[in-house]
């Protein structure tokens, strides 16, 4: 099964796992079976990255109880709760650094900027996780435009079967994912 993604992990490639936390997968107001369904593909990507010796970073949505973001979304992934923890199957595989983020966009976190600078030889970042149309899209678009601004030739690749969003009233998962993928492709992000 690892061979399925092996071609993505050439030399100088890293894997970024976005918000594969319990609060989006199995518990809490923003959890979704649709999002949880991509967990096996993320597990395979993580094992493939390890087999290739690629660095791996995972973002974990993690908020204080009075977080400003809760003006836009219901309270979720509160620090110290199981909602803010990386999915158990990914923790069991291990071998990744974690950045706890307090916004939908991990690319703006100072710890990510330091991580990116410390991995200056990277030529590709493979991305998986949730939600395709929120945290994943914001991360990918910001990373791509940051690299463009700095003339850094870094390919951003989203593994489509390892990314998902949720269905909810007023949020059609299929339509939201289709639009997000189109926006990312138009910005030069490779979708595989």
Query: pLDDT tens digits, residue range 153-172?
Result: 999 999 999 999 988 888 89
Q: Is the pLDDT of residue 1 over 80?
A: no
Please tell me the predicted confidence (pLDDT) of residue 30.
87
Instruction: Compute the distance between CA of residue 80 and CA of residue 63 in angstroms, rounded to an integer.
Output: 9
Domains identified in the chain and CATH numbers: 3-191 (3.40.50.850)
pLDDT digits (tens, 9 = 90+) for 117-143: 999 999 999 999 999 999 999 999 999
d(C-alpha 134, C-alpha 140), whole Å: 10
Q: Which helix (H) or strand (E) holds 101?
A: strand 97-101
User: Which H, E and C letters describe 5-25, residue by residue?
Assistant: HHCCCCCCEEEEEECCEHHHH
- Can you spell out the DSSP letters for 36-62? HTTHHHHHHHHHHHHHHT--EEEEEE-
Coil, strand or helix at 82: helix
pLDDT at residue 3, as a whole number: 85
Over the Cα atoms of the chain, what is R_g? Answer: 15
Q: What is the pTM of this model?
A: 0.95
């Amino acid at each position: 099964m690892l061979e399925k993604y092996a071609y993505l992990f050439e030399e100088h490639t890293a894997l970024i796992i976005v918000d594969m936390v319990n609060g989006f997968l199995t518990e809490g107001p923003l959890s979704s079976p649709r999002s949880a369904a991509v967990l096996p593909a993320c597990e395979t990507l993580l094992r493939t990255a390890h087999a290739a010796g690629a660095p791996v970073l995972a973002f974990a949505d993690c908020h204080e109880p009075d977080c400003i973001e809760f003006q836009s979304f219901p309270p979720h992934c509160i620090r110290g709760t199981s909602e803010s923890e990386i999915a158990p199957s990914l923790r069991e595989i291990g071998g990744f650094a974690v950045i706890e983020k307090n916004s939908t966009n991990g690319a703006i976190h100072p710890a990510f900027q330091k991580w990116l600078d410390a991995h200056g030889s990277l030529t590709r970042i493979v991305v998986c996780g949730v939600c395709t149309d929120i945290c994943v899209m914001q991360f990918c678009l910001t990373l791509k435009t940051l690299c463009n601004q700095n003339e850094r030739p870094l390919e951003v690749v989203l593994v489509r079967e390892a990314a998902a969003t949720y269905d909810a009233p007023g949020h059609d998962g299929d339509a939201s994912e289709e639009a997000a993928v189109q926006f990312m492709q138009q910005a030069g992000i490779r979708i595989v």
